[in-house]
Amino acid sequence: MRVDRLLRPCLNWPAPLRVLAFLLVLALLWAPLAIPLSLLIPDPDWQSVVTLLVLYGQFIWLVRRWARVAHGEARPLASYGLVRSRNLSQGAIGFAVGAALVFAMFGLEILLGWANWLGPGIGFPRQVLDGLLVGLGIGFAEELLFRGWMLDELERDYRWNQALWGNALVFALLHFLKPLAEVLRTWPQFFGLVLLGLIMGLAKRATQGRLGLAMGLHGGLVGGYYWLNVGELVDFTQRVPDWVTGVDRNPLAGLVGLVFLTGMAGVLGWMGDRPVSEESAAVGN
């Protein structure tokens, strides 16, 4: 295939160059479809939805080709952690934990008098469904991209800890592409994004390379925040600075959120280490 000829020359490159080459090929495939679609669809919201769906469909197709051509994987998506075994149940648990964590953050702020509970409005049932769909969609898409394909590429060239931190930093940087004024105004969010990337990588390791828990956690955090923010369930009292509760109401951009995320990272790190120690003990016996 013509795409295979584009991919083969970069197979022996270092991991960062392989990642860049893959993304460049993906952009070359996407642009010829995205540009005319954006011109044909008048509604900006639908433009974004359709072009992103096309992009992700092409990503899944290309990543399957990549895994076969570059690494000889017979089951590409399974090699990235998208397997049937226990992924669904772990994803459901992860979503519940992620959403509960967001509500716990805001619940603590309410108890401390930093926020007020306003309660759901008339349209909240629809917002629950919207938040569920948005969370599941983002969790699936971003985790297959970052903790599935990209982390796998980095692990092939680097030690686990190096790959984990590199993946988390790339994840944060790509989510932090904005004008300099916005970067300076929302700088605490960068540390939250790095922690989030670490958490998702640790979740994958804690479940023996499966993506279900990471997808669920990511989706639950997004969904829970959607319900609270779009549903306008809480209002801040402004008794403490934004960097404590979160710049722009974003828990990732505040001290409270960073503390909660650090705790979750610690738990997942312990879970990831536990099977290794148990197996070692079994071998020793």
* pLDDT tens track for 123-162: 899 999 999 999 999 999 999 999 999 999 999 999 999 9
* Helical pair 212-230 and 124-143, crossing angle rounded to 10 deg: 150
Residues with pLDDT less than 70, the chain: 1-3, 274-285
Q: Please name the residues in contact with 32: beta carbons below 8 A apart, sequence gap of 6 or more.
A: none
Nearest 5°: phi and psi at 22?
Answer: -60, -45
The ranges assigned to domains in the chain are: 1-79, 83-275
Give the H or E element holding residue 117.
strand 115-117
Cβ–Cβ < 8 Å for 86, 208: no
CA distance 80 to 95: 20
Cβ–Cβ < 8 Å for 26, 58: yes
CA distance 174 to 155: 19
What's the pLDDT at 206?
A: 93
Q: Please name the residues in contact with 22: beta carbons below 8 A apart, sequence gap of 6 or more.
A: 7, 10, 62, 63, 66, 149, 153
CA distance 264 to 216: 14
What's the pLDDT at 48?
A: 85
What's the pLDDT at 274?
A: 64
* Cα–Cα separations (whole angstroms), residue 53 to 37, 49, 127, 158, 261: 12, 6, 21, 32, 30
